[in-house]
Chains A and B, each alone.
Chain A
Amino acid sequence: MIRARCIACGVVVALSSTAFVGVARAQQYRLRVDAFGESADPAGFAMVTASARERGPILVDAEALVWTGAALGPDKSVEAQGEAVLASVRLRDASGYGELRFGRLMFSGGAVRPLHLDGAVATARSPSGAELQAFGGLPLKADFQGRGDDWLVGMRATQAASEEGHVGFSYWQERESGRIARSELGAEGSFTPLRAFALRGTAAIETVRVGLVEARVSATLADGLDRLELFGLRRSPSLMLPATSLFAALGSYDADAVGLTGFYRVAPRLDMSASATVERVTDEAGATGWARAELRLDDDGVGALGVEVRREFLPGTSWSGVRAWLRVPIAEDFSGSTEVEVAAPDDPRGRGVVWPWGLLSLRWTPIPSLDVAAGFEASSTPQYALSLGGLLRASGTWGRSR
């Protein structure tokens, strides 16, 4: 019942958002409909994504993403499902100094992790590069559980220094049933002393249990498309949980990672990339590495052949895998693709020695605004020795952009 009410509420918000812009005779609008069906995990649904824009003294943008369909429920009965994932309106001062976004939206920025909420975000900017954001609303929870007295509020302040960098601070707090569940203080910064070199970093501290929730740093060296990035990460999974969770009492055990990622265009049609990461999770050390090569079969990159090898090593959860893919244009409006992966765990523990997976798909694009794709998937997983399934998707777009 709660779910039905919330879905209805979301649809109303979505409709009102688009109607809002419709009244203003949107100069630009775009509507996309995706219909999707799957047999292995039986489900069928339609997803509608709509956006509209009206230009004037105030720039008005509206966006909505709504889906509905049916799937097999936990008790193997057909269950109707649906969600209004997004329904927001954005008003922008044409000079760029003020902005207001409201509705069902996602906020992210700086050290604030992406927040999905029913609420509003207000932004003010100054010509000197300062920016102040304030946000608040009702956080969206799975199945709309426990929304009785839940709310969150926060702010973010940044100061940019031309193109060379910025610093910023943020704070947000979330309450569940009136009790404080999260309270984070964040800092962020970037520094680009050279066009080819950039440093970035963010850090967030939980102020209820006092500890570092997550910190990220990266240094990037780039020359056109070629790129090398050194990165570091520390994350405390316990502190990412709300303080109201019993599992938050387990304390802070950090996961650290330091790694290097590179991308190199070896030839006009051949790209290579690789990454190596050293990790520490609680008191265990591990490493991850992958390398990937992709050869485009034509100048436009419509056809492509690629291979990727990966090795993840951490005691008890290590595996190695190789993935290959091929896409070939069969005719002007018709293309075929195949993708194959074989992964092997170091310690099968009765889950199978290898986990192969394969996909064969065909795509038909009779006109640019319509495409239909059908696929056949086969796999062997720890759960099933053999799993077969079909996939079908039809997508259409309509709109006016001038």
Chain B
Amino acid sequence: MRWQSVALFVVLLGTGACAGILGFKPEDKTHPFEHDAHTREGIHCVRCHSGIQLAGDTGALHLPSNASCVTCHEKPHDTRACDSCHGLPYTRASAVRARDVLRFSHADHAGKTGADCVRCHSDAGSGAAIMRPKMATCLECHQHDREMNARDCDGCHVDLTTEGTMPDDHLIHSPDFAKDHAAAAQSSGELCTSCHQESFCVSCHAGDRMPRTPAKLHFDDVKGAGLHRAGFLAKHGDESKNAPGLCTTCHAPEGCAGCHQRENLSASGSTAPRNPHPAGWLSTPGGRNDHGSAAWRDPASCEACHGGAGEQLCIGCHQVGAPGGDPHPPGHVPAGRKAAQPCVRCHVGGR
């Protein structure tokens, strides 16, 4: 019982000590601005946010200053600026960012809503930190069916593809999203292109046509996850064997050859070429021949170096009557005419 009490005490102490680090904040310090208290007093928004009803698409944010506050609160209880405690820094940062990335004119809306700010800012009475209406609030009046159909977001979003705002209710990109995103991307129509430009897709899927992987290009973005981060180069051989076919979705099989040649891990290396295959890879019939199971596991990895003219190396042993034996799997059914490639490479004359 005693040790349980000690453990509980340590956990509580640890949580308390780390609360600030974890983002839990005591309520008696910086807190959301008391919009609810002002609303209950019947104070209209424009009394503090003066001029907001005339604000256009650009320009000042019309956030209240100390001078606005002291018109009512004549004797401030602190010498510091009011907004150092009343209102969270990220609330103001959010408003600044909204001004940058959204097209919105309060002047256009004030007349149509009869200067009823709460019609859109419905959280004004709740004491919430962020007053910016959610997009669903906009859609209550503005249906935007045509724009939705055309994926034309420019009417409100300055440039959604560079905005970088993550929707708060869908498509959270988990650390392995790069590896697993296909199901979501393939079944979501053009959802991805609402935020990502085509250059984002080609940065991975153009594979060998790009000079470097995104992980290498953005090496300083250490928070990023992805397939090629950190010491991927050391592990890429094992990783490709654990996910057969995955490399092929971005890389042309021939893409491996250039790097292996440069590293002399290839028969065609420029100087002192070395065999990239481990011991037991190739032997006489009846001996250890690991290359067979490796080829069945991921034939694209073989084609990376032995494709095209290199196929002759395989055919030398595996053609009909040669010692390499039948490379076809049990129950192999020829696909189509033997005269078609690649059957004709071995089955000369359709034998």
Contact A34 B23 (CB under 8 A): no
Closest Cβ–Cβ distance, residue A170 to chain B (whole Å) = 10
Closest 3 CB pairs of A and B: A96-B149, A268-B23, A357-B231
Q: Could you jot down 16 A-B contacts, CB within 8 Å?
A: A38-B216, A51-B199, A74-B269, A85-B210, A94-B152, A116-B206, A200-B188, A216-B182, A235-B245, A237-B245, A241-B253, A249-B342, A269-B21, A282-B296, A317-B242, A402-B158
State which of B1-9, B68-76, B299-307 sits at the interface with chain A. B299-307
Contact B219 A393 (CB under 8 A): yes
B51 at the interface (CB under 8 A from A): no
A18 at the interface (CB under 8 A from B): no
Which of B24, B234, B241, B303 is in CB contact (< 8 Å) with A268?
A: B24
A286 at the interface (CB under 8 A from B): yes
Q: A83-B209, A379-B231 are in contact. Are A248 and B342 (CB under 8 A)?
A: yes
Which of A86, A241, A338, A402 is in CB contact (< 8 Å) with B303?
A: A241
- The B311-351 residues at the A interface (CB cut-off 8 A) are 311, 314-315, 327-329, 332, 335-336, 340-343, 345
A198 vs B264: C-alpha distance when bound (angstroms): 49
A109 vs B271: C-alpha distance when bound (angstroms): 44
On chain B, the residues within 8 Å of A316 by CB distance are 241
A110 vs B219: C-alpha distance when bound (angstroms): 32
Interface of A is mostly: strand
On chain A, the residues within 8 Å of B231 by CB distance are 321, 341, 343, 355-357, 379, 381
Contact A190 B210 (CB under 8 A): no
Interface string of B242-271 (1 = CB under 8 A from A): 111110111011110010011101001111
Interface size class of A (residues with CB under 8 A): 35 or more
Closest Cβ–Cβ distance, residue B301 to chain A (whole Å) = 9
Contact A304 B223 (CB under 8 A): yes
- The A145-192 residues at the B interface (CB cut-off 8 A) are 145, 158, 160, 166, 179, 188-190
Contact B188 A261 (CB under 8 A): no
On chain B, the residues within 8 Å of A208 by CB distance are 335-336
> Which residues of B are in contact with A by a Cβ distance under 8 Å?
21-24, 57-58, 89-90, 93, 103, 146-152, 154, 158-159, 161-162, 168-170, 172, 174-176, 180, 182-190, 197-199, 201-202, 205-206, 208-212, 216-223, 225, 229-231, 233-235, 237-239, 241-246, 248-250, 252-255, 258, 261-263, 265, 268-271, 278-279, 293, 295-300, 302-303, 306-308, 311, 314-315, 327-329, 332, 335-336, 340-343, 345
Give the residue name and chain of the A residue nearest to B176 (CB). A275
Which of A72, A110, A225, A343 is in CB contact (< 8 Å) with B235?
A: A343
Contact B254 A190 (CB under 8 A): no
Q: A246-B345, A252-B329, A299-B90 are in contact. Are A125 and B261 (CB under 8 A)?
A: no
Contact A160 B90 (CB under 8 A): no
Give the residue name and chain of the B residue nearest to A391 (CB). B219
Contact A74 B245 (CB under 8 A): no
A335 vs B201: C-alpha distance when bound (angstroms): 28
Which of B198, B223, B261 is in CB contact (< 8 Å) with A294?
A: B223
Contact B254 A143 (CB under 8 A): yes
On chain A, the residues within 8 Å of B24 by CB distance are 267-268
Q: A49-B199, A110-B187, A190-B188 are in contact. Are A246 and B219 (CB under 8 A)?
A: no
Contact B159 A325 (CB under 8 A): no
Contact B252 A113 (CB under 8 A): no
Contact B299 A250 (CB under 8 A): yes
Closest Cβ–Cβ distance, residue B95 to chain A (whole Å) = 14
Given contacts A28-B154, A110-B187, 9 further A-B contacts (CB under 8 A): A45-B211, A94-B150, A114-B205, A241-B253, A275-B174, A345-B238, A373-B219, A381-B234, A401-B159
Which of B146, B219, B270 is in CB contact (< 8 Å) with A94?
A: B146
A67 vs B203: C-alpha distance when bound (angstroms): 12
Contact A210 B335 (CB under 8 A): yes
On chain A, the residues within 8 Å of B149 by CB distance are 95-97, 125, 127
A20 at the interface (CB under 8 A from B): no
Which of A166, A188, A246 is in CB contact (< 8 Å) with B314?
A: A246
On chain A, the residues within 8 Å of B245 by CB distance are 214, 235-237, 240, 255
On chain A, the residues within 8 Å of B209 by CB distance are 83, 85, 116, 140, 142
Max count, chain B CB within 10 A of own CB: residue among A125, A243, A250? A250
A366 at the interface (CB under 8 A from B): no
On chain B, the residues within 8 Å of A359 by CB distance are 219, 222, 230
